[in-house]
Structure 1
Amino acid sequence: MSIERPVSPNPYDLLPATAAFTVTSTDVTDGQPLKDDQVAAVGNTSPQLSWSDAPQGTKSFVITCFDPDAPTPSGFWHWVLVDVPAEVTSLDTGAAAGDLPGAAFHVRNDGGDAGFMGAAPPQGDQVHRYYFVVHAVGEESLGVDADASPAVVSFNLAFKTLGRAIIHGTYQH
C-alpha cells in the first residue's frame, strides 16, 4: 500500500545555517539503501559513526536519526542520544544498545523506546530517508532529561548547535 503524498524536503535545509563537519560510517553509505542491520525487523542495530572537524567550542554532541518520509506531519525519530562528551568522536555498531559514554543518555524514540529503532516504513510505501546527524553542541549538557521528547531535544538544538554532520541512508519495504 502506498500513501500518496509529496516527498518531504530535507528537514535540515529548513533550519538556520550552521557549520558543517564530517561524519562517516562503515554501516551507512550516504544516499544508499541501509544494511539489514539497520532495519527494525531484521537487525535493529545502530550504525557505526565516526566524525571529525567539529567546530571550535564544541562541548558535547547529540546523535539523531530522523525519517522525514514517515506518513505523519512530524516525521519519525528513530534515535536521539544526548550529551555525548566532546572527546568522543565515534560510536561502534550497536553502541545504542550498550554502555553509553560519559553522561550520555537516550530520550525515547517515536517507537516509544530509549535507544535506536531501525527502519520500519509501511510496506509498499515510497522510499524513506534516514538522516543520521551528529550535532555539535556548545554546552556540556543540552539541558534536557530522559523524559524529553525528540521534538524538545530538536528545539533545544536549534539554539545550541554549533555545527552538523549529516549522512543519510534509504530504505523501502
Structure 2
Amino acid sequence: MSLDRPVAPDPYPLLPSTASFTVTSSDVSEGQPLNDNQVNEFGDTSPHLTWSGAPEGTKSFVVTCFDPDAPIVSGFWHWVAVDIPADVTELATGAGASDDTLPGDAFHVRNDGGGMGFMGAAPPPGDQIHRYMFVVHAVGEDRLGVDGSASPAVVGFNLAFKTLGRAIISGTYAH
C-alpha cells in the first residue's frame, strides 16, 4: 500500500529544540491506526487529548494535527486550535468541532481542507501509510498573536519563537 516515494521526515526535530512534556489520549495510541471516527469519511471527530508536565512559564497552549506524509511539499494541517488557556490540560473527544467546543477564548484557524475545526484523516487511496501528529505546544504568552484568519503556516511561524515545550502523539492511517 505504498506509492514509490520516500517517507517525509518528522518535522519537529528540524525546529529549534524545546522542552518536552507528555500528551496521552484515550483515542490515539502511539504509532497505531486512528479510530474510524478520526477519519474524514467516517466522522471528523477530534480525539481526546490530555497533557501534563508543561514547562514553567507556560501561559497558553496551541494544539495541532499535522500529516507530514501528504503528497505535497507542505504536508497537510488537519487541526490548529490556538490560545487554549494555560489552566486547561485536556480536550475532550470532539473538542475540535468548532470554536464553541474549545475552552475559554480559544479558537481555530482554517485547516488545509478549508474548515475551521478538526478534519479527519483523508490520505489518497492507495497511498502509503500516513502519520497524524497531534502536538500540544506550550506557549510563553497568553495569546499567540494571530487571529482566526491566520494560516497554519503563520501559526507555525509564531510558534517557532514562542514555544516553550512540545508534547507529541502520533497515529496512522491508510486507505
Q: TM-score, normalised by structure 1?
A: 0.98
> What is the CA–CA distance in structure 2 between the aligned matches of 1:40 and 1:12, rounded to whole Å?
24
> What is the CA–CA distance in structure 2 between the aligned matches of 1:150 and 1:111, rounded to whole Å?
11
How far did 1:37 drift? 1.1
Aligned position for 1:141 = 143
Aligned position for 2:159 = 157
5+ long unaligned stretches in structure 1: none
How far did 1:126 drift? 0.2
Q: TM-score, normalised by structure 2?
A: 0.97
Root mean square deviation of aligned Cα: 1.0
Aligned position for 1:106 = 108
The alignment partner of 2:156 has SS state of helix
> What is the CA–CA distance in structure 2 between the aligned matches of 1:169 and 1:23, rounded to whole Å?
13
How far did 1:101 drift? 0.8
> What is the CA–CA distance in structure 1 between the aligned matches of 2:163 and 2:35, rounded to whole Å?
29
The alignment partner of 2:71 has SS state of coil
Deviating above 2 A after TM superposition, structure 1's stretches of 4 or more consecutive aligned residues are 1-4
Aligned position for 1:22 = 22
Q: Aligned runs of 1:56-67 on 2, under 5 Å?
A: 56-67=56-67
How far did 1:2 drift? 5.2
How far did 1:4 drift? 2.5
Q: Aligned runs of 1:84-123 on 2, under 5 Å?
A: 84-97=84-97, 98-123=100-125
How far did 1:64 drift? 0.0
Tell me if structure 1 keeps the 8 A contact 2:2–2:129.
Answer: no
> What is the CA–CA distance in structure 1 between the aligned matches of 2:140 and 2:52, rounded to whole Å?
16
1:1-51 C-alpha deviation (Å, 9 max, x unpaired)? 854311001111111110000000000000111010110001210000000
2:26 counterpart letter in structure 1: T
Identity %: 75
1:156 counterpart letter in structure 2: N
Q: Give aligned pairs, total.
A: 173
The alignment partner of 1:77 has SS state of strand
The alignment partner of 1:157 has SS state of helix
1:55-92 C-alpha deviation (Å, 9 max, x unpaired)? 00000000000000000000000000000000000000
1:76-113 C-alpha deviation (Å, 9 max, x unpaired)? 00000000000000000001115221110000000000
Aligned position for 1:7 = 7
